[in-house]
Structure 1
Amino acid sequence: MSLIEVNLPEIVKKQYLFKLKSYNRIFSSMVVLQIVGILFSLGGTGGGGGGSNNIEYKVSYYSSTTVMFFTFLWAFISAILLTTKANRFDDFSLITTRVCSHLSNFLILLTASILGGLSFFLSGFLLKLIIYFFVNRLVYTGEGYVPLDFLIGITSSVLYVLLFCALGYVTGTLVQLHKGFILLLPGLYIGLIIWGDNNRFVRILKNITEFFTTEQSIILFGIKVIITAGMLFAFAIAISNRMEVKQ
């Protein structure tokens, strides 16, 4: 019998540092996708123009919405990749349990959420700089930012990315539980598009979306996301406990 006492926090810490080095491709892919999103955003999201008294003007609207889409997609897919069998097998090279593995994965996704949310928020300013210096257009940014606006913007971006990480982690765990979910989940998504607003489930899904996107208080929004993400991760842990060892 070993006299060494197993320390859960220490094991989780070692696994987290190990995965942080092993999964660095996750963060490099984030940079690539956000650069692609910025390049797509250079075309603008709309605009208009007019003129009078021999003066003509043209207005173009730019936003980091495309970067946001790519960041959320990256978060969702990266979380799924953490649940694959190949990545789970890496945990068996260390002394671990499924709880330790899930906790270290959660820390990886939390780190990814912080980096992804921060870079996504700052990409809007980078886009304006690129347009100003290289597209040769005057840039009007609206009202100025105050430090509180930066804090709220970064916090909300991180929380949104964390929410998509949690959704991806649950999706990946379901697929590992039964391969039928590979066809079921995309089929469900396509069905929602076909049915439209006439389907009750679609209306429920819209209400859930509005539950997060229409919240005005950053504190309440944070509470909503943290509780939801915690429930999703707990659900993923409960699902994985039904799997056989090294399944």
Structure 2
Amino acid sequence: MSLTKTNLAEVVKKQYFHKLRANIDAFSALVGIQVLAIVFSLAGVGSTGMSGGGMIINVNYFSADVVIVFTFFWAFITAITVNTKVNRFQDFTFVTNRVSSGLSNILFLATAGLLGSMTAVLSGYLLKVIIYLFKSQPVYSIRSGMEEILLGIVVAFLYILLVSSIGFLFSSITAISKVFIFLIPVIIVGMLFLGGIVPNEYFIKGIEFFVGEKNVLLFALKTLSTSALIFGAGIAILRRREVRQ
């Protein structure tokens, strides 16, 4: 560490722009995984059928839900990779500490998450165009105004930020010991299997705490505060370690 007095905001700003350049592959991966999700979405996310009067009607539903789920997975992996040991070492090319490094990571993940949420929601319209051009059956679309589009982007962004914070915390915990790389998934899978036998009320209530919220402002407050706590926990874990390892 240099003895030169530096401004935290200035250091975070420099690290943030450095991470945008250094992690450009994350955005390439976003494009690839969303294109793959669109391909899967062409099969539809649901269907229903009815018959009567000598007619058979089959209805297929298409949406960007698969793209959004794939984007969640991308956000989780990106949050892990941006907080790896190699990337943490790169931060020390600047006059820095764990706090500035963590804050710049959060800003990068928020930027990537915003881009991912925008492209994920808008991919629904690209999906409709593809279906309209290549499907022989009639296509009916529910019109969405600008307000609905912006709301979808905001909600998707908040979920992505929450998923990113979990990935960041996971990476911080595994920095303590590689054993946690295997231990944490085993615990999670074990809880899921146990929940299939014995209802896991805490797990279900945890999901409903976010998914069941109908008020957008309260939902934003819940996700932002939870994400902040999880990110803070991740930074606190890293601060307990030596400055360089």
TM-score of Structure 1 vs Structure 2, range by shorter chain = over 0.9
Distance 1:121 1:218, change over 3 A: same
Secondary structure of 1:138's counterpart equals coil
Aligned CA RMSD, in angstroms, stands at 1.8
Tell me the secondary structure at the aligned position of residue 88 of structure 1: helix
SS at match of 1:215: coil
For residue 72 of structure 1, report the CA deviation from its aligned partner: 0.5
Query: CA offsets per residue over residues 65-123 of structure 1, 9 Å max, x none?
Result: 22122100000010011111111111111221111101110110010110011111111
Does residue 212 of structure 2 align to residue 185 of structure 1? no
How far is 1:153 from its partner? 1.0
Give the secondary-structure state (helix, strand or coil) at the position aligned to 1:245. Answer: coil
Give the corresponding residue for 2:166. Answer: 167
Amino acid at match of 1:217: N
| Matched residues, number | 244
2:203 and 2:49 map into 1 onto residues whose CA distance is: 38
Provide the rounded CA distance (Å) in 2 between the counterparts of 1:48 and 1:232: 41
Classify the secondary structure of the residue corresponding to 1:125: helix
Match of 1:45 in 2: 45
Per-residue deviation, 1:179: 1.4
Q: Is there any run of 5+ residues in structure 1 with no aligned partner, and where?
A: none
Q: Determine if contact 1:197/1:203 at 8 Å carries over to the other structure.
A: no
Q: Report matched runs for 1:71-90 at 5 Å.
A: 71-90=71-90
State the alpha-carbon separation in 2 of the partners of residues 204 and 3 from structure 1: 48
Counterpart of 2:101 in structure 1 is 101
Task: Note if contact 1:13-1:104 (Cα within 8 Å) is conserved in structure 2.
Answer: yes
Deviations 1:115-169 (A, max 9, x none): 0111111111111111111223322223x32332122111101101101000100
Instruction: Check conservation: 1:38, 1:66, Cα contact below 8 A.
Output: yes
In the alignment, structure 2 segments of 5+ residues that lack a partner are none
What residue identity is the alignment partner of 1:104?
Answer: S
- Map of 1:58-137 to 2, 5 A cutoff? 58-137=58-137
Judge conservation of contact 1:174–1:239 (CA < 8 Å) in 2: yes
Which string of whole-angstrom CA distances, capped at 9 and with x for unpartnered residues, describes residues 192-219 of structure 1?
232124446x320110111100111111
SS at match of 1:58: strand
Q: Tell me what 1:230 maps to.
A: 228
Does the 8 Å CA contact 1:75/1:165 hold for their aligned counterparts?
yes
Query: 2:11 corresponds to which residue?
Result: 11
Q: How much does 1:244 deviate? A: 1.7
SS at match of 1:182: helix
Q: State the one-letter code of the partner of 1:215.
A: E
> Normalising by structure 1, what TM-score?
0.92
Deviation at 1:51, TM superposition (A): 4.4
Report the CA distance between 1:57 and its aligned residue.
Answer: 3.1
Where does residue 205 of structure 2 map in the other structure? 207
Q: Which amino acid aligns with 1:152?
A: L
Cα offset for 1:54?
A: 5.2
Report % sequence identity: 41
In 2, the alpha carbon distance for the partners of 1:73 and 1:93 equals 30
Q: Distance in 1 between matches of 2:32 and 2:40?
A: 13
- Secondary structure in structure 2 of the residue aligned to 1:95: coil
